[in-house]
């Protein structure tokens, strides 16, 4: 097997992203016990750089686990994979022309197992949980993380307890059931699902896989950054436009760029990181515009894009810091713009975008109109999932096309 010939993981320990406190990676960990903030996996990057080179990657397995040196599972036998990652970076010249952008691409995550990039995070988290001997996990979700968690848990032989809002996409509930996950529906939002999961964690000892309250989902998400680097032959785009809910993707990619720079595989230049949110739930946009370091919870969150209906992202401070240091920004778009962008993706490029992914197109259009993004650099939009998850939006998209 190819997998077993990969150079080993160089994971050394965990470290608090805020106060720097160190933690043992050989035991299950959640958040920093000193300050309550997220923990990051740390690697021996001097060791990793000896083998993690562009030319050495060519013959490796076609999944995100090809970056094994900087992945958190020590024994490859515990890797739980369904073929996640290595998604296409598609040039979209027709969309680019419509927007007046000369070099526009889409990183299309719709082909991932269970149809969204959530597969990356859950493959990493469930694999590490399996290695640590965990047999039950709890996951609060807006929908997509629940279906991915249930799938990887099934493959690992782990029990998954999923909590999601009663109005989450029906497809994601059906998937959880199909994969044998235990599903609880809550009246409310992902934050309310989180409260229910916390009860199970306390009473039954499940491992809490909430976004960034567990250190390894972000390790899966960071592979989107490694893939961009590999797909662009060692370069990065100038601008990344990302639909931001809990922020794991943004934080993960930024971590990948930090690691690549420490390994000498990229220089100091970084993409501008741009967060797109919905007008009905835009805590990060509001905080950035007000110059605040933390984001206040958004009241009455509502949007057709459930993955970005996150009223109180746990890692708000990390997201805001990345937007600022990358010279990026944040922008909110309306549900009508999101529906219109779904139609546009489909009609002009054959890409069946999820509403969250479509939001990036709508967001970019606004930023180009305001002159906040340079139209003549390489801009990458993230389509984080497939439109197949959202049959309930098809009629709206059709109306938009007429
Ligand atoms: C969860 C989700 C998002 C938001 O992702 P974060 O990285 O947590 O901000 C965006 N799009 C889809 C389809 C999602 O499921
Ligand atoms: Zn800390």
- Give me the number of domains the chain comprises: 1
Helix ranges restricted to H, 42-99: 45-48, 54-57, 93-99
Mutate to test the pocket of ligand 1, among 117, 145, 219, 358 (most ligand atoms within 8 A of CB): 117
- Write phi, then psi, for 107 (nearest 5 degrees): -85, 110
Is any atom of ligand 1 closer than 6 Å to the C-beta of 385?
A: yes
The confidence score (pLDDT) of residue 340 equals 98
* Residue numbers of the domain that contains 334: 89-113+219-401
Domain presence at residue 278: yes
Distance CA 269, CA 238 (A): 9
| Domain membership flag for residue 251 | yes
- Whether residue 248 is contained in a domain is answered as yes
Question: Measured between alpha carbons, how far is residue 283 from residues 36, 210, 308 in Å?
Answer: 20, 19, 10
pLDDT at position 310 is 95
Report how far ligand 1's centroid is from the alpha carbon of 244 (Å): 6
- What was the pLDDT predicted at 183? 98
Distance (Å) from CA 121 to ligand 2 centroid: 22
The CA radius of gyration of the chain, in Å to the nearest whole number, is 20
Q: Ligand 1: which of 115, 281, 355, 356 to mutate, most ligand atoms within 8 Å of CB?
A: 356
Provide the pLDDT for residue 2.
Answer: 47
Residue with CA at minimum distance from ligand 1 atom 5: 245
pLDDT (0 to 100) of residue 161: 98
Q: What percent of the chain has pLDDT over 70?
A: 99
Would 49 be classed as within a structural domain?
Answer: no
For residue 402, the model assigns a pLDDT of: 77
Written as six digits, the tokens of 149 are 């968690």
What Å distances lie between residue 93 and 96, 149, 295, CA to CA?
5, 35, 36
How much distance in Å is there from the Cα of 55 to the middle of ligand 1? Answer: 31
Ligand 1 atom nearest residue 252's Cα: 7
* Domain at 349, CATH number: 3.40.50.1100
pLDDT for the residue 285: 98
Asked if residue 112 has its Cβ within 6 Å of ligand 1, the reply is no
Q: Note the pLDDT of residue 138.
A: 98
Query: Is the C-beta atom of 211 inside 6 A of ligand 1?
Result: yes
Relative to the CA of 250, which ligand 1 atom is closest? 7
pLDDT at 328: 98
Q: What is the pLDDT of residue 69?
A: 98
Residues of the chain with pLDDT under 70: 1-5
210 lines ligand 1 (CB under 6 A): no
For residue 324, the model assigns a pLDDT of: 98
Ligand 1 neighbourhood includes 169 CB (under 6 angstroms):
no
Q: Is residue 82 part of a domain?
A: no
Instruction: Assess if residue 268 is contained within a domain.
Output: yes
Q: Is 172 in the pocket of ligand 1 (CB under 6 A)?
A: no
Q: Which residues surround ligand 2, an ion (CB under 5 A)?
A: 16, 18-19, 21, 32, 34-35
CA distance 90 to 93: 9
**Longest Cα–Cα distance in the chain:** 57
Q: Is residue 189 part of a domain?
A: no
In a domain, 71, yes or no: no
**Which residue's CA is the closest to the ligand 1 atom numbered 6?**
247
Residue 108 confidence (pLDDT)? 98
At 233 the pLDDT is 98
Of all protein residues, the one whose alpha carbon is nearest to atom 3 of ligand 1 is 307
Instruction: Give the E-state strand segments of 22-79 in sequence order.
Output: 22-23, 39-43
Helix or strand holding residue 310 (H, E): none
């Amino acid at each position: 097997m190819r997998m077993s010939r990969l150079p080993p993981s160089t994971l050394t320990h965990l470290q608090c992203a805020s106060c720097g406190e160190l933690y043992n990676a050989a035991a299950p960990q959640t958040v920093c016990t000193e300050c309550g903030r997220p923990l990051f996996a740390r690697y021996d990057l001097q060791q990793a750089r000896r083998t993690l080179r562009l030319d050495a990657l060519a013959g490796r397995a076609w999944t995100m686990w090809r970056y094994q040196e900087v992945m958190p599972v020590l024994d490859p036998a515990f890797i739980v994979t369904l073929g996640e990652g290595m998604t296409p970076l598609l040039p979209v010249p027709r969309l680019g022309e419509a927007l007046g952008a000369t070099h526009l691409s889409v990183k299309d995550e719709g082909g991932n197992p269970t149809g969204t990039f959530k597969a990356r995070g859950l493959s990493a988290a469930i694999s590490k949980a399996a290695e640590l001997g965990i047999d039950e996990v709890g996951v609060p979700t807006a929908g997509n993380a629940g279906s991915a968690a249930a799938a990887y848990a099934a493959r690992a032989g782990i029990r998954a307890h999923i909590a999601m809002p009663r109005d989450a996409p029906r497809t994601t509930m059906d998937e959880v059931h199909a994969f044998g996950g235990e599903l609880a529906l809550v009246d409310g939002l992902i934050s309310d699902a989180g409260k229910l999961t916390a009860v199970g964690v306390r009473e039954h000892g499940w491992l809490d896989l909430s976004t960034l309250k567990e250190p390894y989902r972000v390790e899966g998400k960071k592979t989107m950054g490694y893939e961009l680097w590999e797909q662009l032959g060692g370069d990065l785009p100038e601008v990344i436009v990302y639909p931001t809910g809990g922020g794991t993707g943004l934080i993960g990619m930024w971590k990948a760029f930090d690691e690549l720079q420490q390994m000498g595989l990229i220089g100091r230049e970084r993409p501008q990181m741009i967060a797109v949110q919905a007008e009905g739930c835009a805590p990060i946009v509001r905080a950035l515009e007000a110059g605040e370091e933390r984001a206040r919870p958004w009241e009455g969150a509502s949007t057709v894009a459930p993955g970005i209906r996150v009223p109180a992202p746990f890692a708000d401070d990390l997201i805001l810091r990345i937007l600022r240091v990358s010279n990026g920004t944040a922008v909110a778009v309306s549900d009508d713009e999101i529906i219109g962008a779904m139609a546009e993706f489909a009609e002009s490029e054959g890409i069946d975008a999820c509403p969250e992914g479509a939001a990036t197109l709508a967001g970019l259009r606004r930023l180009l109109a305001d002159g906040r993004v340079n139209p003549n650099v390489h801009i990458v939009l993230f389509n984080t999932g497939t439109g197949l998850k959202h049959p309930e939006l098809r009629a709206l998209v059709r109306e938009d096309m007429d």
